[in-house]
Amino acid sequence: PITLWPFPVDAIAKAAEHVPKFLTVEMSMGQMVDDVRLAVKCARPVEFYGRTGGMIPTPMEVYNKLVEMNGGEQ
**29: Cα separation from own chain's centroid:** 13
Indicate if the alpha-carbon torsion angle 35, 23, 30, 7 is positive or negative. Answer: negative
DSSP state of 72: T
List, for residues 12-71, the tens digit of each pLDDT value: 999 999 999 999 999 999 989 999 999 999 999 999 999 999 999 999 999 999 999 999
CA 56 – CA 72 distance, rounded (Å): 23
Residue 72: per-residue pLDDT: 84
List, for residues 63-73, the tens digit of each pLDDT value: 999 999 999 87
Residue ranges of domains in the chain: 9-69
With a cut of 70, say whether residue 3 has pLDDT above it.
Answer: no
